[in-house]
Copies of this chain bind each other. A is one copy, B any other.
Amino acid sequence: MKTLSLSFIGFGNVGRSVARVLLDKKQFFKERYGIEFKTVSITDSSATVWDEEIDLREALIVKENFGSLSKWTNDYEVFDLKPIDVVREVESDIVIDVTNDLNAHVWHLQALREGRSIVTSNKPPLAFHYRELMREANRRGLSYKFEATVMAGTPIITLLQEALKGDRIERIEGVFNGTTTFILSRMERGESFEEALRKAQELGIAERDPSGDINGVDAGYKATILHCVAFEPITFEDVILKGIGGITRREVMEARGRGNTIRLVAKIEKGNVIVEPREIPRNSPLAVAETQNAAVIKTDLLGELLLRGAGAGLKETASGVVSDIIRASKIKI
């Protein structure tokens, strides 16, 4: 039995969902992989709990009842440590970044320098610093895993990294943002952009500030990451971006009249990444519904390969993070 120590940075919805999977599947991971995990620190925006082994079940209860870890003073010592301090001071094997911290690359790099592997669902570090992060991880023989950054747990990253080794990838086209799909689908049923957006916010599909989804930044981050994996490192600045903000109900209805549908599509070719609303046939593999994502990978030998699955959701995102935690454990299976 191998025991790996984990530092959680971020304990919001995704972080807690990961914690729940680790708890629920403790026995499964022991039996299948011969590994056990212990959590040595959890950091939320209020504080860091740090101990030899934190009871994840209690941590979930505290966070869900009191909203922040800083309240948890009767069982554990609570520290005022920022992520950069945590990766320096807390001895852990794997640091799990489930934040939205735009500048997380700074402490990712520090964690790697300290000999810790990284598992992350946080896109900006990769979309802006892929080359640097990978170089640091490879140089030290550490893992830097990020399945959940694109298509939640749908394993497009692992597929691109581990399969198709003899093929030359020519193009990836995909729909990687569920909020825009939701809005465009509502507009097809006659709602205005504003009505559809409001509905998305009511249902918790769009965030209070939905601009990252609407203007294509979220899909652009994902497209950047896919280019880095499939071709070579680029940054988000290299992506041509057009959001769905300018789409009118009339355009959507006209497309519908032609038997088509509009989706925010990312096209990724070597040195050429475009995210834009595109009119596609209703029976196109990219004509996804709800929070589904789809990617068509075109290669020289295999032709077209379609991967379609969850692109959002808590369990679905936890699936990617947990798979990465196990892969980062580097056990022989």
Considering the chains assembled together, what is the distance between the CA atoms of A135 and B309 in angstroms?
33
Knowing A306-B308, A308-B306, A319-B299 are in contact, say whether A164-B159 is a contact too (CB < 8 A).
no
Contact of A301 (CB < 8 Å), options: B21, B29, B167: B21
* Identical subunits present: 2
Secondary structure of the A contact surface, majority rule: mixed
Give the contacts of A123-173 with B (CB-CB under 8 A).
Answer: 147, 152-155, 158-159, 162-168
Report the minimal beta-carbon distance from A139 to chain B, rounded to whole angstroms.
12
Q: A302 contacts B309, CB within 8 Å? A: yes
Which of B153, B155, B163, B319 is close to A323, meaning CB atoms less than 8 Å apart?
Answer: B163
Most B Cβ at <10 Å: residue of A29, A309, A326? A309
Min Cβ gap A195→B in Å is 28
Smallest CB-CB separation from A285: which chain B residue? B308
A153→B301 contact, CB < 8 A: yes
Find out whether the CB atom of B158 lies under 8 angstroms from the CB atom of A322.
Answer: no
Inter-subunit contact A316/B301 (CB<8 Å): yes
Within 8 A of B (CB), among A275-322: 283, 285, 299, 301-310, 313, 315-316, 318-319, 322
- Least CB distance from A196 to B in Å reads 24
Using Cβ atoms and an 8 Å threshold, which residues of chain B touch A105? none
Q: Is the CB of A164 within 8 A of B155?
A: yes
Chain B residue nearest to A154 (CB atoms) is: B305
Contacting residues, chain B, for A167 (C-beta < 8 A)? 153, 319, 323
Residue of B nearest to A294 (CB): B306
Which B-chain residue is minimally distant from A297 (CB atoms)?
Answer: B309
Is B165's CB under 8 angstroms from A322's CB? yes
- Are the C-beta atoms of A323 and B21 separated by less than 8 Å? no
* Residue from A166, A304, A308 having most chain B Cβ neighbours under 10 A: A166
A302 to B315, CA, bound (A): 7
Q: In the complex, are the beta carbons of B158 and A162 less than 8 A apart?
A: yes
A323 and B167 CA atoms in complex are apart in Å by 8
Residues of B within 8 A of A322 (CB): 165-166, 301
B28 to A168, Cβ gap below 8 A?
Answer: yes
Task: Give the complex CA separation of A313 and B152 in angstroms.
Answer: 32
| A310, chain B: closest CB distance, angstroms | 5
Specify which chain B residues have a CB less than 8 angstroms from the CB of A303 in the assembled complex: 309-310, 313, 316
Instruction: List chain B residues, Cβ under 8 A from A307.
Output: 305-307
Which residues from chain B contact A29 at a C-beta distance below 8 Å?
166
Tell me, yes or no, whether A327 is within 8 Å of chain B by CB: yes
Bits for A210-235, please: 1 = Cβ < 8 Å to B, else 0: 00000000000000000000000000
Chain A positions within 8 Å of B, measured between CB atoms, are 21, 25, 28-29, 33, 147, 152-155, 158-159, 162-168, 283, 285, 299, 301-310, 313, 315-316, 318-319, 322-323, 325-327
The 7 nearest A-B residue pairs measured at CB: A166-B322, A155-B163, A301-B319, A305-B309, A158-B163, A165-B326, A306-B308
What are 28 sample pairs from A and B whose C-beta atoms fall under 8 A apart? A25-B168, A28-B168, A29-B166, A153-B301, A154-B302, A155-B164, A155-B305, A158-B162, A159-B163, A164-B323, A165-B322, A165-B327, A166-B319, A166-B322, A166-B325, A299-B319, A301-B315, A301-B316, A301-B318, A301-B319, A301-B322, A302-B310, A303-B313, A303-B316, A305-B310, A306-B307, A306-B308, A306-B309
